[in-house]
Amino acid sequence: MADLPRLRRMLGGPETAWLVERVRERLAAGRPLDTAVVLAAASVEQRRAVELLLGRRLRAGRSLSVPLADVDRVLRESLACSDGLAAAVVLLTGPVADRRAEALASAEAWRAAFVPLDAACDRPDLAPWRARVESTGLLKRIAAGDPSVAGRLADQAARVLAELTADELSAGPGAALTLPVLAARCLGDAHALDEGRPLASLVWSAVKALAGLSDEEAGGAEGRRAGWAAVGVATDELSSRVLTLGLPGSTHGTTGRILAAAREGGEPCVLTLRQLAAGVGAVPESVRVCENPAVVAAAAASLGADCPPLVCVEGNVSLAARTLLGRLAERGSRLAYHGDFDWGGVRIAAGLLRLPGAVPWRYDHAAYLAAVERGLGAPLTTGTPAPTLWDPALREAIEAHGVRVEEELVLGELLADLRGSCG
């Protein structure tokens, strides 16, 4: 119950506006109205207004101290507002937001927004990424501070991550998955993961974590292709490629004829993911796989058309390489892999040696120790140790010696093996 005209005369004038605002601030913060508020440099008019409100003279001085309990009592007793000071301020200025309740509601809304990511991040390699998304405010930024938008983005990202982290990261070792197809399959929109979209930023940050790429390594178009390739996705059908030498072709189909001509001429051949879609023709009994193009170049120069089938992953297993090697393994080719003796090479080997029948090619602890004993290599200062399940002693040896041995340093042995396989 209130007498609004009387209330406005007592508390609604410009001289008491500061007092009303202080009360609003306390109400919004959830603080009690049982102490005094102080105005450091009160005017004569402000002092007089408070004296009229309380019905008594105040102590002289520059500052003005007003006990809120006294104001509450006066309002109730005068019937200007029988519900007291808090109700009076609402009547005069409108509802007061409860900032504490709003903060709690906001915190709960943001907690709910992250729930889809929590469910998607049960893998050890994604847990640190999930923590960074929250600590850096990435999700809040791309959602423009709206938890409902954030929840939708998190749910969409979780659907993509579920696809990427499924067994073998795709429908199988020989499957080809492009970015538009991934977006359409998971989100119903082939452009949902296009660069520049908010969801693309969130998913790309997770892809970098899955691929183990630093921000520097993931920079630019090449870094982006490498990151997506590491999780089994090509940004398009043409940019993903694989380097080959001596791979048999056929007289049927464009790709088969290209391979046949390249083999006859003893020249390396680059195949795109699009070209692989039609198949590659004949399947060789065995295929050597290397990490660096220098091996292919040296083999072409030394052996030419006599070089046995050789495939190079060029430092990262592109989707084209994954597709080609997966199909060859599925159709019975025996793959043998060699790479740099460093943690990047180890990770490539770990992926390829999971393919059916794949074996290491001079890529074990004995070969590593032989190179180190010859004084080859340089200090290994980058990368995170990774397991070598095909030869656990290899990881132990690399960690013990801390030496990186690149393929180019053992090129003679690799060429000798290739030469011995000729014919």
| pLDDT tens string 189-228 | 999 999 889 999 999 999 998 888 888 888 888 788 888 8
341 contacts: CB under 8 Å, gap ≥ 6: 363, 368, 371, 377, 398, 403, 404, 405, 406
Same domain, 80 and 22: yes
pLDDT at 113: 93
- Is 64 within the bounds of a domain? yes
* Same domain? 267 vs 382: yes
Looking at the structure of the chain, the number of domains it has is 3
The answer to whether the CB of 296 falls within 8 A of the CB of 310 is yes
**Maximal CA-CA distance, the chain:** 114
Does residue 263 lie within any of the structural domains?
yes
Q: Domain check: are 77 and 111 in the same one?
A: no
Q: How confident is the model at residue 170, as a pLDDT? A: 37
Looking at the structure, tell me whether residues 269 and 410 fall in a common domain.
yes
**pLDDT tens per residue across span 265-310:** 999 999 998 888 777 777 899 999 999 999 999 999 999 999 999 9
Mean pLDDT of 122-148: 90
Write down the pLDDT at residue 395: 97
Per-residue pLDDT averaged across 3-30, rounded? Answer: 92
Same domain, 211 and 82: no
Beta partners for residue 405, in sequence order = 341
* Token pair recorded at residue 358: 């794949």
* More confident of the two residues 101 and 392: 392
Looking at residue 96, its pLDDT comes to 87
Tell whether 393 and 281 lie within a shared domain: yes
> Strand pairing of 286-290 and 334-337?
parallel
Domain end point (choices 97, 120, 135): 97
Task: Please tell me the predicted confidence (pLDDT) of residue 153.
Answer: 96
Helix (H, G, I), strand (E, B) or coil at 244: strand
Q: What pLDDT does 168 receive? A: 41
- Helices assigned H by DSSP within 188-292: 198-211, 220-230, 254-265, 273-276
Q: How far is CA 244 from the centre of its chain?
A: 32
Let me know if residue 292 belongs to a domain.
yes
- Of residues 304 and 252, more confidence is placed in 304
Q: Specify whether the CB–CB gap between 118 and 130 falls below 8 A.
A: yes
- Is the pLDDT assigned to residue 176 strictly greater than 80? no
| Average confidence (pLDDT) over 398-423 | 92
Q: Are 250 and 373 contained in the same domain?
A: yes
Domain final residue pick, 97, 114, 132: 97
Is residue 33 a part of any domain in this protein?
yes
Query: 56-67: per-residue pLDDT in tens?
Result: 988 888 889 999
Whether 263 and 221 map to the same domain: the answer is: no
Q: Clarify whether residues 246 and 325 are in a common domain.
A: yes
DSSP 80-133: SBTT-HHHHHHHHH-----HHHHHHHHHHHHHHHHHHHHHH--STTTHHHHHHH
pTM of this prediction?
0.61
Give the mean model confidence (pLDDT) for residues 177-194: 90
- What domain range includes position 80? 4-97
Residue where one domain finishes, among candidates 195, 230, 265: 230
How far apart are alpha carbons 205 and 182 in whole angstroms? 16
At 422 the pLDDT is 63
The CATH number of the domain holding residue 315 is 3.40.1360
Model confidence over 346-401: pLDDT tens digits?
Answer: 999 998 999 999 999 999 999 999 999 999 999 999 888 999 999 999 999 999 99
Check whether residue 176 and residue 131 sit in a common domain: yes
Q: Note the pLDDT of residue 173.
A: 38
Does 235 reside within a domain? no
> Are both 206 and 250 inside the same structural domain?
no
Q: Are 277 and 400 part of one and the same domain? A: yes
Q: Which pLDDT does position 7 carry in this prediction?
A: 93
